[in-house]
């Protein structure tokens, strides 16, 4: 998987991809290739590939000792700005007020087998992985730079990470250290991003690459609702099954930047990492700083080919493998049923009804602690509200477990309300600058998780509850972005405030680590006002994430379609909520809501008391069917069946060797509308027979060539033949291999 020739050429490869770089004339690293597997390469092959013709006559030469050599047009593995290359670099360093123009040259390499899972910071892992570590040195500035490359045999991905070490006598400051760089020889791609807003997260947006910089970023202290670290460069003629795609993601949950720069020769440089704005890191002699990991993907098989790789990578090398084997519980969350207005009897009544319907876990949301009757009080006071639970929360948990239900509990551990003891006793534990005016969000403040003492205090409060009450599931929320980022702790420690955002997210990860080391079977669902931190960093600890506070099934179609380009179904927590929907006030049928929510971990978030007996029976039947197909719906192979450019009709499938479930959805009924293509099932055995929805028997060859008969929709001329009526249509196919 890792070949080294002449201590000059480095080839990472598996059956699907090759990643190739080399030592250039100036002893820095040059990028050669990332794409389809090249197989075994001879030295003649490598010499041919690395032959370079300089198009940049007239620009600054790198060194008078290397005539006609410049970095201005070179594709580099880890570029620096200013030494004949005027594009944005991957690293910026300073000493006092002096900017350092670094020159990192190749010294040595090391190869390691196997990558252990380490809870201290999110990263890719796998016993079958290999790591290549390249050591570069800048003797003039007394620096060492370590570039790490990870490859796994079954996924078309390269994981990259960077470490900078100070081996000199003077303190230095890192102002920028990008996690990965990908250089491509042309720019004939569209830039794809997953963007939106609160309740409208991760919608697919594309724009053509042009000369200059195209980027997405976050400066909110979290990866954000507005942008996502995942980006892709897609062939302009890409389809679901054809076309090249290069994609990038970051295993990180804080401020990030993901950008692409196109130069005057139309070469492309993609970089991703910690956002250098509001960032710096001071390190003394023999100290180092390590970037988060980033992952690069490649496919020539379009959007479905991309999802094969991103989904496999997340399920096998990010999320804890135990969650592939354990059933994700079907939950009832009480939030939209009760909000803050509940007591033990009211909740127990809901729980009994939930159990009768087949639901497996009761999740108690916000309002169970302190004096929490609204969202302006009690955060940071993680003690049970005895008025709502006069016999204690343990008594309620025992009753749930006696019913055969698991118990889930909501926390917002990173926040604090001004009426709590922790706020009054420790004003220096709050994130805010030392000036008179500062911002307040939702009546709450952000705790300074850059301070280890703060993290430990919250852990002790949470651990006390988890140790004394049987809790199976946590919903971890975070409802306020960080403003006026300033840490009294860093001021006291005489550390730069530019370290705050990174130290803050390290504190978040440290709390996750402490909880999971002491409560390893706890299922933690990530949430940040919904999908404000839907990223690989959180997924390392949380096998699933609440994707959006907008639970409207119609809105979820677009949120799901974008999210699933980068993250698998198993991570997408999907709830059936009440109508009219709480966020957009839309009315949709129960069958439509269930047909959307059944793909991924299933939940319900509505007042069961308000359902008719017919609706309860429909839910009971749906849950029975879901349990029979849960593993397929959560862990099956996912494919898009219709163009992602169509914003009115959607179709996708999950499949295994023996079975396939296909969901078809239409937002608005339009007279005489036809699908732009047939529904062609994925992963069909041409020589087999398939039973469709328990009755029709069709050959795989016919299905592959003719597709599925779409359900008859409303047609102005043939209303009497319609199967699906009106707006918000849905239909599920089940194909069983015979």
340 pLDDT band (50/70/90 cuts)? Answer: very high
Specify the pLDDT at position 273. 98
Specify the pLDDT at position 97. 85
The Cα-based distances of 53 to 29, 56, 179, 181 in angstroms read: 17, 9, 29, 22
Mean pLDDT of 293-306: 98
Specify the pLDDT at position 711. 63
646 pLDDT band (50/70/90 cuts)? Answer: confident
Mean pLDDT of 576-605: 97
511 pLDDT band (50/70/90 cuts)? Answer: very high
* pLDDT tens readout for residues 140-158: 999 999 999 999 999 999 9
More confident call, 64 vs 631 = 631
Distance CA 2, CA 149 (A): 10
pTM score, two decimals? 0.96
Mean pLDDT of 284-291: 96
Whether pLDDT at 674 is above 70? no
* pLDDT tens readout for residues 218-262: 999 999 999 999 999 999 999 999 999 999 999 999 999 999 999
Whether pLDDT at 214 is above 60? yes
Instruction: Classify the phi-psi angles of 123: left when phi > 0, otherwise alpha if psi is within -120 to 50, otherwise beta.
Output: beta
- Percentage of residues in the chain having pLDDT higher than 70: 96
Whether pLDDT at 84 is above 60? yes
CA 322 to chain centre: 19
717 pLDDT band (50/70/90 cuts)? Answer: low
Distance CA 6, CA 43 (A): 9
Q: Determine which one of 73, 477, 558, 639 is catalytic.
A: 477
User: What do you get for the CA distance between the two ends of the chain, in Å?
Assistant: 39
Instruction: Respond yes or no: is residue 549 known to be catalytic.
Output: yes
Q: What is the DSSP letter of 721?
A: G
Specify the pLDDT at position 118. 96
More confident call, 718 vs 709 = 709
Whether pLDDT at 670 is above 90? no
Of residues 506, 504, 502, 508, the one with CA closest to residue 281: 502
Whether pLDDT at 715 is above 60? no
**Class of residue 602 by CB neighbours under 10 A (exposed 0-12, middle 13-18, buried 19+):** buried
Going along the chain from its start, the domains and CATH numbers come out as 2-317 (2.70.98.60), 322-414+451-478+525-633 (3.20.20.70), 649-737 (2.60.40.1180)
Question: What's the full length of the chain, in residues?
Answer: 738
Specify the pLDDT at position 564. 98
Distance CA 447, CA 455 (A): 9
Whether pLDDT at 59 is above 70? no
Residue 190 CB coordination number (10 Å): 17
Specify the pLDDT at position 356. 98
Whether pLDDT at 355 is above 60? yes
Specify the pLDDT at position 669. 84
Instruction: Respond yes or no: is residue 428 known to be catalytic.
Output: no
**Does residue 580 have a cis peptide bond before it, meaning omega lies within 30 degrees of 0?**
yes
Specify the pLDDT at position 168. 94
438 pLDDT band (50/70/90 cuts)? Answer: confident
**Angle subtended at Cα 666 by Cα 686 and Cα 710, rounded to the nearest 5 degrees:** 35
Backbone angles phi, psi at 651, to 5 degrees: -155, 135
Question: What's the mean per-residue pLDDT of the chain?
Answer: 94
Residue 671 CB coordination number (10 Å): 10
What secondary structure, in 3-state letters, does 570-615 show?
HHECEEEECCCCCCCCCCCCHHHHHHHHCCCCEEEECCHHHCCHHH
* pLDDT tens readout for residues 360-417: 999 999 999 999 999 999 999 999 999 999 999 999 999 999 999 999 999 999 999 9
DSSP 426-455: -GGGB---SSS----BTTBEEB-TTSHHHH
Q: Determine which one of 73, 103, 448, 549 is catalytic.
A: 549
Question: 40-44, 51-55, 585-589, 660-664: which has the minimum mean pLDDT?
Answer: 51-55
Specify the pLDDT at position 63. 67
Contact 148, 162 (CB under 8 A): yes
């Amino acid at each position: 998987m890792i070949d080294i020739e002449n201590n000059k050429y480095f080839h990472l490869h598996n059956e699907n991809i090759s990643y190739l770089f080399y030592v250039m004339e100036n002893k820095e690293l040059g990028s050669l290739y990332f794409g389809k597997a090249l197989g075994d390469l001879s030295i003649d092959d490598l010499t041919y590939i690395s032959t370079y013709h300089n198009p940049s006559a007239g620009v600054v030469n790198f060194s008078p000792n290397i005539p006609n050599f410049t970095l201005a047009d070179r594709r580099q593995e880890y570029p620096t700005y200013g030494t004949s290359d005027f594009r944005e670099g991957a690293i910026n360093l300073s000493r006092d007020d002096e900017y350092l123009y670094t020159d990192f040259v190749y010294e040595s390499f090391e190869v390691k087998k196997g990558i252990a899972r380490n809870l201290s910071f999110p990263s890719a892992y796998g016993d079958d992985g290999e790591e290549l570590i390249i050591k570069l040195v800048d003797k003039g500035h007394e620096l060492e730079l370590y570039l790490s490359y990870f490859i796994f045999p079954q996924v078309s991905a390269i994981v990259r990470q960077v470490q900078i070490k100070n081996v000199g006598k003077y303190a230095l400051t890192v102002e920028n250290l990008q996690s990965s760089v990908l250089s491509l020889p042309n720019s004939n791609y569209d830039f794809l991003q997953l963007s939106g807003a609160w309740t409208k997260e991760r919608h697919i947006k594309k724009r053509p690459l042009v000369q200059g910089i195209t980027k997405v970023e976050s400066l909110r202290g979290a990866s954000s609702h507005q942008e996502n670290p995942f980006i892709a460069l897609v062939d302009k003629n890409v389809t679901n099954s054809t076309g090249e795609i290069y994609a990038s993601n970051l295993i990180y949950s804080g401020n990030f930047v993901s950008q692409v720069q196109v130069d005057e020769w139309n070469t492309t440089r993609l970089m991703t990492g910690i956002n250098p704005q509001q960032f710096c890191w001071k390190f003394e002699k023999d100290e180092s700083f390590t970037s988060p990991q980033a992952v690069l993907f490649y496919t020539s098989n379009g959007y479905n080919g991309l999802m094969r790789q991103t989904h496999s990578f997340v399920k096998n090398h990010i999320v804890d493998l135990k969650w592939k084997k354990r059933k994700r519980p079907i939950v009832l969350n009480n939030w939209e049923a009760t909000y803050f207005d509940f007591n033990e009897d009211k909740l127990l009544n809901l729980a009994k009804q939930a159990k009768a319907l087949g639901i497996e876990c009761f999740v108690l949301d916000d309002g169970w602690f302190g004096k929490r009757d609204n969202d302006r009080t009690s955060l940071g006071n993680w003690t049970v509200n005895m008025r709502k639970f006069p016999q204690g929360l343990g008594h309620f948990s025992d009753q749930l477990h006696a019913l055969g239900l698991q118990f889930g509990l909501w926390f917002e551990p990173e926040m604090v309300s001004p009426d709590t003891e922790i706020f009054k006793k420790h004003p220096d534990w709050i994130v805010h600058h030392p000036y008179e005016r500062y911002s307040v969000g939702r009546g709450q403040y952000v705790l300074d998780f850059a301070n280890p003492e703060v993290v430990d205090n919250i852990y002790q409060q949470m651990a006390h509850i988890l140790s004394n009450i049987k809790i199976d599931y946590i919903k971890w929320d975070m409802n306020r972005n960080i403003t006026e980022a300033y840490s009294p702790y860093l001021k006291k420690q005489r550390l730069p405030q530019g370290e705050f955002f990174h130290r803050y997210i390290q504190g978040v990860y440290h709390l996750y680590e402490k909880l999971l080391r002491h409560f390893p079977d706890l299922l933690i669902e990530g949430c940040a006002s919904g999908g404000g931190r839907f990223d690989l960093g959180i997924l390392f600890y949380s096998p699933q994430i609440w994707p959006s506070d907008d639970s409207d099934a119609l809105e979820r179609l677009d949120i799901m379609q974008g999210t699933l380009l980068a993250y698998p179904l198993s991570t997408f927590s999907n709830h059936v909520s009440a109508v009219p929907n709480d966020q957009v006030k839309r009315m949709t049928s129960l069958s439509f809501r269930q047909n959307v929510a059944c793909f991924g971990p299933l939940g319900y978030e509505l007042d069961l008391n308000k359902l008719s007996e017919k609706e309860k029976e429909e839910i009971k039947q749906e849950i029975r069917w879901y349990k029979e197909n849960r593993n397929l719906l959560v862990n099956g192979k996912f494919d898009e069946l219709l163009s992602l450019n169509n914003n009115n009709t959607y179709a996708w499938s999950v499949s295994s060797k023996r079975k396939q479930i296909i969901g078809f959805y239409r937002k608005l009924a339009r007279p005489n509308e036809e699908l732009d293509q047939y529904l062609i099932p994925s992963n069909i055995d041409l020589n087999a027979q398939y039973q469709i929805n328990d009755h029709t028997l069709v050959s795989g060859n016919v299905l592959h060539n003719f597709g599925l008969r779409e359900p008859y929709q409303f047609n102005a001329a043939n209303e009497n033949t319609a199967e699906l009526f009106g707006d918000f249509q849905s239909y599920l196919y089940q194909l069983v291999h015979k």
